[in-house]
Amino acid sequence: MTTNYNPSGSIQMASGNVSGQPLIRFENVFKIYGQGDAEVRALDGVSFEVNSGDFVAVMGASGSGKSTTMNILGCLDVPTRGKYFFRGVDVATLSHDQLALLRRHYLGFVFQGFNLLARTTALENLELPLIYQRLDKGARRRRAMEALETVGLLGRENHTPAELSGGQQQRVAIARAIVTEPSVILADEPTGNLDSARSHEIMQLLTRLNRERGLTVVLVTHEDDIAAYAHRRLEFRDGKIINETSTQDAA
């Protein structure tokens, strides 16, 4: 292992310095593929902020730029131009390894396709991010069991994904996202593969985590009834935000 840094220290994100600034800030972000006539602007000057404790839905048709936004938010991709500040830190200044550490300690991912490790039990799936956090076996197990309890899957810890329903798999995935106690959960169409009843269960779980734990949630969806769980909506079209609405009052 050549990770010669103190994870949280080197990226200078002590939880205290968040006060006064938003958790996430996009400043005129562009993502451009190709050049000249073949140029495609996946993001065309996007600016928005997400505060700690927010529940934001990113909406739009496919190709509108919402997936690109999620990838940049998740530090899996970088803007061509413009700035992305996470807890006040310009992400462009971070190294590859520091980005990995940022994901490890501050971000939790939930995917449309669940993306659990196959032939691996729910418990082992939950322990995986904790292994990278260098937690010892006892602490890993305790935290994993807590997270399983939170998503209502106690008793299923030794089931592999193949032995779980779609809704249960997504619960495991959510448990994996929250087990590291991140600042924000990035959920990319988390209900896309689920039926309506299961979808609402998953959204109720995310809502509960947001309300009870103050967990910030950024959700990508193209369904109105799913977006309705969020407090704010950012509507994308052709790489731009065309509409921003707050549904805080409704909630």
Partner 1 sequence: MFATTILMAFKEIRRNVLRSALTVLGIIIGVAAVIIIVTLGAGTTAQVGSEISKMGSNMLTLMPGGNHRMGGAAGSSPPFELSDIEALRRDIPEIAAIAPYAQRMSQIIAGNENRRSNVVGTTSEFIQVRNWALTAGRTFTPAEESAGRAVCIIGATIHEEMFPGQDPLGAMIRVDKISCEIIGILESKGQVMFGGDQDLVVAMPTRTFQRRISGSNRIAQIFISAYSQESMPALKEQVTQLMRERRRVDEDEDSNFNVLDMTEVSEVMENTIGVMTTFLSAIAAVSLLVGGIGIMNIMLVSVTERTREIGIRLAIGATENEVMMQFLVEAALLSAFGGFAGIVLGMTGAALVAPAINVPFVFEPVTALMAFAFSGAVGVAFGFMPARRAARLNPIEALRHE
71 binds partner 1 (CB under 8 A): yes
92 binds partner 1 (CB under 8 A): no
Among 131, 139, 242, 251, the residue binding partner 1 under the rule CB under 8 A is: 131
- Binding string to partner 1 for residues 190 to 229, with x set by CB under 8 A, is what? ----------------------------------------
Alpha-carbon span 238 to 218, nearest angstrom: 20
Q: Which residues 156-195 are close enough to bind partner 1 by CB under 8 A?
A: 176, 180
117 binds partner 1 (CB under 8 A): yes
* String of DSSP letters for 197-226: HHHHHHHHHHHHHHHHH--EEEEEES-HHH
The structure tokens listed for 46 are 């996007």
Alpha-carbon span 113 to 194, nearest angstrom: 10
| Nearest residue (CB) to partner 1, 141 versus 200 | 141
Among 28-36, 104-112, 147-155, 227-235, the segment contacting partner 1 (CB under 8 A) = 104-112
User: What counts of helices (H) and strands (E) characterise the chain?
Assistant: 8, 10
84 binds partner 1 (CB under 8 A): no
Calculate the dihedral angle through the C-alpha atoms of 114, 120, 123, 124, rounding to the nearest 10 degrees: -110
233 binds partner 1 (CB under 8 A): no
Among 18, 32, 78, 128, the residue binding partner 1 under the rule CB under 8 A is: 128
Q: Which is nearest to 148 in space by CA: 120, 117, 127?
A: 127
- How big is the site for partner 1, counted in residues (CB under 8 A)? 31
96 binds partner 1 (CB under 8 A): yes
Q: Give the list of residues 6+ apart from residue 63 with CB closer than 8 angstroms, or none.
A: none
| Nearest residue (CB) to partner 1, 105 versus 231 | 105
- Please, are residues 28 and 83 in contact by the beta-carbon 8 Å criterion? yes
Q: Is the dihedral of CA 35, 40, 46, 50 positive or negative?
A: negative
| Nearest residue (CB) to partner 1, 95 versus 204 | 95
Tell how strand 24-33 and strand 81-86 pair up: antiparallel
- Chain positions contacting partner 1, by CB under 8 A: 1-3, 71, 74, 76-77, 96-97, 100-105, 107, 109, 111, 115-119, 128-129, 131-134, 176, 180
